[in-house]
Amino acid sequence: MNRKPMLSVLIPNFNYDKYIERAIDSIVAQDYPSIELVIVDDGSTDDSVRVAKRRLAKPTTLQRHVVIDLGKNRGKLGAINAALEEITGEYLITLDADDWLARHYASRCIAELERCRESDEDVGFIYTDCQLVDESGEVIDRGRSVAFDRDLVGKLSFLPEPALMLTRAFKQAAPFDESIRVATKHHKWTRVVANGWTGVHIPEPLFYYRMHSNNMSGIGQRVLAENESGARGERILSGYWQVTAK
């Protein structure tokens, strides 16, 4: 029986002890059979490390897991850089600790990536739409990305964090600039695309993006305020994600 290529899932975390277990649960529940999980705690002052280790002490089908405790805060890109040597899979997902994945996210995206690469070897990542959820996990609305356009990558932030990618495309772009503390996702993707990689959009909501007051991009506060005012409906996410510090 052929073993599926390893998928690495990286969860950088800072003070998300009340969310991280849900993120871990969604990785453990994936219907893809070969997964390693790397959690990097970025100097949290809450109970994040204990919560993560307690969850991972329970039986799982993960091939391996590791929790890296940085002890001091280096920022999200610093946490990502700290995981580079631990990431051994052919594929990679970086998942924010306050979000979670649909059960078939990995298998669906890997199948699409493999299919696309049969005709175009420049395709290095797959990304999807999402369900926007409130702090308690209740669905608010749908968040949409857009079809890949290389010319827009430097101008708009439309590539979501949990996009599934070739690990070699990720490592080719690394290490990332740890002085950047805002628009970190945009920095990562512009470096990946600058190396010649392209992406493919699946217009299906395959992950859950939690809206709360501490989202790094500020999207949570905006979406929740819009909902309170009665302005509901689908969001084009590039209108909410920053490309530079403001």
pLDDT at 246 (0 to 100): 46
What is the arithmetic mean of pLDDT over 29-39?
Answer: 97
CATH number among 3.10.105.10, 3.40.50.720, 3.40.35.10, 3.90.550.10, domain 7-239: 3.90.550.10
Give the predicted TM-score (pTM) of the model. Answer: 0.93
What is the arithmetic mean of pLDDT over 17-32?
Answer: 98
Encode pLDDT of 93-129 as tens digits. 999 999 999 999 999 999 999 999 999 999 999 999 9
- The least confident of 51-55, 74-78, 184-188, 209-213 is 209-213
Considering only the C-alpha atoms of the chain, give the largest distance between any 2 of them, rounded to a whole number of Å: 55
pLDDT at 237 (0 to 100): 83
* Domain residue ranges of the chain, discontinuous segments joined by +: 7-239
pLDDT of residue 90 exceeding 70, the answer is yes
Higher pLDDT, 236 or 195: 195
Cis ω on the peptide bond leading into residue 33 (within 30° of 0)?
Answer: no
- The least confident of 55-64, 65-74, 192-201, 221-230 is 221-230
- The least confident of 62-66, 138-142, 185-189, 215-219 is 215-219
Of the candidates 51, 58, 44, 64, which has an alpha carbon nearest to the alpha carbon of residue 22? 51
Query: In sequence order, which residues have a C-beta less than 8 Å from that of residue 89 and are 6 or more positions away?
Result: 5, 6, 7, 8, 34, 35, 36, 167
Query: In sequence order, which residues have a C-beta less than 8 Å from that of residue 28 and are 6 or more positions away?
Result: 60, 61, 62
- 189's tokens: 């993707």
pLDDT at 110 (0 to 100): 98
- 196's tokens: 């010649």
Token pair 């690990």 in the structure block, residue: 167
What is the arithmetic mean of pLDDT over 189-198?
Answer: 97
Of the candidates 130, 245, 226, 95, which has an alpha carbon nearest to the alpha carbon of residue 177? 245
pLDDT at 204 (0 to 100): 96
What is the arithmetic mean of pLDDT over 66-92?
Answer: 97
Q: Phi and psi dihedrals of 116, rounded to 5?
A: -65, -35
Q: In Å, what is the CA distance from 183 to each residue of 77, 121, 223?
A: 10, 28, 18
